[in-house]
Amino acid sequence: MKRNILKSTLAAAVTAASMMSAMQALAEETIKVGVLHSLSGTMAISETTLKDTVLMLVEEQNKKGGLLGKKLEPVVVDPASNWPLFAEKTRELIEKEGVDVIFGCWTSVSRKSALPVLEELNGLMFYPVQYEGEESSKNVFYTGASPNQQAIPAVDYLMNDLDVKRWVLAGTDYVYPRTTNKILEAYLKAKGVKAEDIMIDYTPFGHSDWQSKVADIKKFGSAGKKTAVVSTINGDANVPFYKELSNQGVSAEDIPVVAFSVGEEELSGFDTKPLVGHLAAWNYFQSVESDANDAFIKQWKSYIGDDKRVTNDPMEATYIGFNMWVKAVEKAKSTATDDVEQAMLGISTPNLSGGVAVMNKNHHLSKPVLIGEIQDDGQFSIVWETDGLVKGDAWSDYLESSKNLVADWSSALKCGSYDIVTKTCKGASY
């Protein structure tokens, strides 16, 4: 009986070992792509689409034969708009799931949550949304806009083309709006704007009661000077904000709003007729005319199975980042973080505007800046754009703490925050 039990135990152990080996072999046959986007909570309105975008790109790459002779396998998790959970899910993706790359995050607080884990475990993430800058990590490629690719050009447009004199900097209360508005406040004052002509206000995620806030904006705009709102309001709080603007009769002619986090996807849930004329600053709009954009829109609507679905800027940033990652893996002949990170420097790939995006040594892109005006069909009419590509700055020229810092991950420096005055690396390096 003891011998039979022993045989059974040994057989079970052999079977378990065989299953483990089979699972490991299966894992080695695929390249795992992590998808770290909120599919529930306040940010689901924006992030769910980016999850679907990654899945579409993975499917397309697999139809081409995969990568390095292997199929891509997406691994999707839901951090549920819970910022500490982004760190936990990042660790799960890298340690448990063994992903080779992560495409994820929207808010800066979620990226800041994931960042220490990425650096600890030497993971690799592509971050596809506009942000406040003041960061450059070896483990992150920033394919969204930095302030000099969105916020600063938007203010210049309002100042020079619309003759705006008073400024409402309205944002959701977290790191991206606060840092961006700190940069914009310094920039406006450098341009001669007085402190009393700048109003700064923050609301929590998911804020819904905008009646008094919009009344304050109207009052601030009644001083006889042209006033505009520069909005870093994020997530589903935008829906009641724009509704209240309409309720209180705030038109684009009276007080134009330029938004940095409202695109076609967010507008698809609005009655946009009262919003016509309000603005957004991005690096891409669905209304861009190019063969590449036409093909992307067609592919997206076919994949998602809904001809009414729209495209937006973070989708293009995801598209650019994914295609750059594929090129870098092919160049490095490896998915290892260190190999891909170095192969990424200088990589270029077509954008959707008919041009080319370039990855710079500071892990930020060069790309065009566009300002669009909301139309009654929920699309944007492009009213202004840069002549060429704008190189993303990791560190702002308008903040005393960072004006002397540069990021360079090439062999020359390998530092994310190099002080050009003291000639020292002040932060992350390798």
Check whether residue 280 and residue 161 sit in a common domain: yes
Does residue 17 lie within any of the structural domains?
Answer: no
Check whether residue 177 and residue 280 sit in a common domain: yes
Q: How far is CA 299 from CA 55, 88, 254, in A?
A: 12, 33, 39
What are the tens digits of pLDDT across the range 273-320? 888 999 999 999 999 999 999 999 999 999 999 999 999 999 999 999
Check whether residue 80 and residue 174 sit in a common domain: no
Check whether residue 155 and residue 281 sit in a common domain: yes
Q: Say what the pLDDT of residue 277 is.
A: 95
Check whether residue 161 and residue 259 sit in a common domain: yes
Check whether residue 118 and residue 167 sit in a common domain: no
What are the tens digits of pLDDT across the range 208-224? 999 999 999 999 999 99
With a cut of 80, say whether residue 172 has pLDDT above it.
Answer: yes
Domain end call among 329, 344, 368: 368
Does residue 354 lie within any of the structural domains?
Answer: yes
pTM given for the model = 0.89
Please return the burial class of 200, using the count of CB atoms within 10 Å of its CB with bins 0-12, 13-18 and 19+.
middle
With a cut of 80, say whether residue 14 has pLDDT above it.
Answer: no
Does residue 47 lie within any of the structural domains?
Answer: yes
Q: How far is CA 312 from CA 77, 220, 301, in A?
A: 22, 32, 13
Strand segments (E) across 110-165? 125-127, 140-142
Cα pseudo-dihedral 35, 36, 37, 42, rounded to 10: 160
In this prediction, residue 412 has a pLDDT band, given cuts at 50, 70 and 90, of confident
What are the tens digits of pLDDT across the range 92-145? 999 999 999 999 999 999 999 999 999 999 999 999 999 999 999 999 999 999
Q: Say what the pLDDT of residue 64 is.
A: 97
Does residue 387 lie within any of the structural domains?
Answer: no
Q: Say what the pLDDT of residue 28 is.
A: 67
With a cut of 90, say whether residue 3 has pLDDT above it.
Answer: no
Q: Say what the pLDDT of residue 23 is.
A: 43
Phi, psi of 242 (to 5 degrees): -70, -35
Instruction: Report the amino acid identity of residue 72.
Output: L
Q: Which residue is it, tokens 């940010």?
A: 43
Does residue 409 lie within any of the structural domains?
Answer: no
Check whether residue 90 and residue 187 sit in a common domain: no
Q: Say what the pLDDT of residue 4 is.
A: 52
Does residue 404 lie within any of the structural domains?
Answer: no
Check whether residue 137 and residue 55 sit in a common domain: yes
With a cut of 70, say whether residue 16 has pLDDT above it.
Answer: no
Looking at every residue in the chain, the average pLDDT score rounds to 93
364: domain CATH number? 3.40.50.2300
6-10, 261-265, 344-348: lowest mean pLDDT where? 6-10
SS (H, E, C) 42-92: CCHHHHHHHHHHHHHHHHHHHHCCCECCEEEEEEEECCCCCHHHHHHHHHH
Check whether residue 309 and residue 179 sit in a common domain: no
Check whether residue 131 and residue 192 sit in a common domain: no
> If we measure between CA atoms, which residue out of 257, 73, 40, 46 comes closest to residue 144?
46
**Residue 162: which domain range?**
148-287+373-380
d(CA 38, CA 53): 13
Check whether residue 265 and residue 162 sit in a common domain: yes
HSE at residue 98, side-chain half, CA atoms within 13 A, is: 11
The sign of the CA dihedral 385, 390, 395, 401 is negative
Q: Which residue is it, tokens 């190999």?
A: 339
In this prediction, residue 333 has a pLDDT band, given cuts at 50, 70 and 90, of very high
In this prediction, residue 236 has a pLDDT band, given cuts at 50, 70 and 90, of confident
Count structural domains, the chain.
2
Check whether residue 279 and residue 317 sit in a common domain: no
Q: Strands across the sheet with 424-425, in order?
A: 405-408, 415-419, 424-425
Which of the two residues, 11 and 163, has the higher pLDDT score? 163
Q: Strands across the sheet with 198-203, in order?
A: 198-203, 166-172, 227-232, 257-259, 279-282, 370-374, 380-385
